[in-house]
Chains A and B, each alone.
Chain A
Amino acid sequence: MADLSTEVCGIPFKNPIIPASGVFGYGREYAEFYPLSALGGIATKGTTGSPRTGNLPPRVAETPAGMLNSVGLQNPGIDAFLERELPRLMQENTVILANIAGATAEECAEVAAKLDSTDAHMIELNISCPNVRQGGAAFGTSCAMAEQVTAAVRKATAKPLVVKLSPNVTSITEIAKAVEAAGADAVSLINTLLGMRIDVRTRRPILHNNVGGLSGPAVFPVAVRMVWQVANAVQIPVIGMGGVTSGEDAIELMMAGASAVQVGMACFTDPCAPLRILREMDEFLNQNHIAAVRDIIGTVEPW
């Protein structure tokens, strides 16, 4: 068996596979399928200062090789997370990336400050949710806003800070450099691509929110490209995600420059996808006589 361990911002991961924020709730449901300790880490559901109800349904639509969602950051708020979810998650023997979001930089900073005194290993700041009116992608699509919210959260916590980037921008490297300059310890990308589907019989958008975030295999090539560009533009580590469905996909993102890999929609197709992906990564490494997965990070040889 190959050495699958990796490391992001000095935090050791037993393996590079992390269910992405939003697909995995706070882990309760998938713990009914397998022990969460098998995972490298868990990016928890995006959590805000106050509880949020989310968007009106329908919130999901399948698309060719992917899906749209417009959940809209439904979550019970940081206080409920700290009281009811985090203590249990900290018993799971896996790295906890507490994903946070907010309508304002102040709200994000307030949530981060509350997490600062907990045992959560890392904070993943979502500046890229396409499904909320305030905050969300608005932070992630302008360098100045991205820098401002990152700096505010940076001041509020000493924990390793990962900033999750939006692909819905002209130049993701500029945003990545802005958050690096503002004190981010790592970046994760890509969040969903903004999309839309219309029911031609009713002339209504399928999603009640009209638009939503596209994820799944359809976005994988975009993820590879952006991870590669960002990894070459910043000094801080990159966590890659976007349509990973196989061990070879995960290897590909790591070759593009990712130190760890998040898995989203594949968890819906197959709840045990993260474990299968790990097995397939191990097989790939063994077949190719690579001793440690760390050795492949950023090893793509561009033409």
Chain B
Amino acid sequence: MKYMQGNYPILKKTAIAKDIFSFTLSCPDVAAQAQPGQFVHILPAGAGLRRPISIAGIDREHGTLRLVFAIRGKGTETLSRLNPGDAMDMIAPLGHGFTLLPEAAHVILVGGGIGVPPMLPLADYYGVKAAAISGFRSFSQVILQEDLEAAGAQTICCTEDGSAGAVRGFVTAPLEQLVSEGADMVYACGPVAMLKAVAQVCLRQQVRCEVSLEERMACGVGACLCCATRTQDADGGEHYLHVCKDGPVFRAEEVIW
């Protein structure tokens, strides 16, 4: 596969929550190839390293990608100040994404906080066959619930303080319930503690699970080996795999938490 790099024009920008932005980029060459779970690597002006950002929407017809990210530091803050008409220096699409199951009857998407955006392309793919459980600390951080619903997914919103959504508490309680009703796959992205809990539920109930991981990254293409993550193979042998190239999506059972 050839990587694409370019300055891609921003078509649309929306502030969707405090310090969380949604950008739509015109990039027909990338949109034509991008898969759910892949990411893009964007250079904020003045930075030395790029910022990996998950893909929150793939529109092949219009040749656009949607990116949703939170301000985490100077780099993402710089990116958040860009506007339609500006461009983003982007390498994409990167990494290997989620395994798509065309025959699946029911899948569960679990997103935690800024881990919700990569669930959206899965919701677009599975439509009514998906249930999307999203977890947030509080109502002010809730994002993308209407988008998940519009894609056809059954949406379950959880907040730790109960200030929004039907569920007060973590994503694991509704997950246990849904998994017990049967699922072909659970897809998850979010904080490590959440992913670990999701992986344990799936392991216990013997449901396939894929998780999207995050790690500090440099090259983004698998050359520098900076974004290592500990994994184990079926025989228990430990290896470092790399989030940028081997991931960001891993089978839950291969991750050492």
Contacts and interface: CB of A to CB of B under 8 A. Distances in A.
Given A32-B3, A62-B47, A272-B5, A23 B216 contact: no
Contact of A269 (B50, B217, B229): B50
A62 B215 contact: no
Contacts of B49: 60, 62, 67, 268-269
B223 A30 contact: yes
Among the interface residues B48, B215, B222, which one has the most CB atoms of the partner chain A within 10 A?
B48
A56 B222 CA distance: 17
Given A66-B48, A268-B50, A269-B49, A60 B218 contact: yes
A186 B34 CA distance: 45
Contacts of B2: 32-33
Contacts of B1: 32
B219 interface: yes
Interface string A33-58: 10000000000010000000111111
A29 interface: yes
Contact of A67 (B218, B225, B239, B245): B218
Given A25-B224, A269-B49, A272-B5, A69 B240 contact: no
A217 B2 CA distance: 29
Nearest to B226: A60
B3 A60 contact: no
Contact of A57 (B89, B215, B220): B215
Interface in B222-254: 222-230, 238-240, 245
Contacts, number: 103
A204 B233 CA distance: 30
Contacts of B240: 53-54, 74
Interface string B205-221: 00000000001111111
7 contacts: A57-B227, A57-B230, A59-B225, A66-B48, A217-B48, A269-B50, A271-B5
Contacts of B245: 29
A268 B225 contact: no
Contacts of B228: 54-57, 59, 71, 74
A216 interface: yes
Contact of B224 (A23, A57, A65, A216): A23
Given A69-B218, A271-B91, A62 B227 contact: no
Nearest to A57: B228
B4 to A, nearest CB: 9
A57 B216 contact: yes
A69 B3 CA distance: 24
Contacts of B218: 60, 67, 69, 265, 268
Interface string B1-14: 11101000000000
A196 interface: no
A61 interface: yes
Interface string A1-44: 00000000000000000000011110011101100000000000
Contacts of A28: 222-223
A74 B225 CA distance: 7
A106 interface: no
Contact of A33 (B3, B226, B239): B3
B20 interface: no
Given A59-B228, A60-B49, 12 more contacts: A29-B219, A29-B221, A30-B221, A30-B223, A45-B225, A54-B225, A57-B226, A62-B48, A67-B49, A71-B224, A267-B223, A270-B89
A246 B5 CA distance: 19
Nearest to B3: A32
B226 A59 contact: yes
B199 interface: no
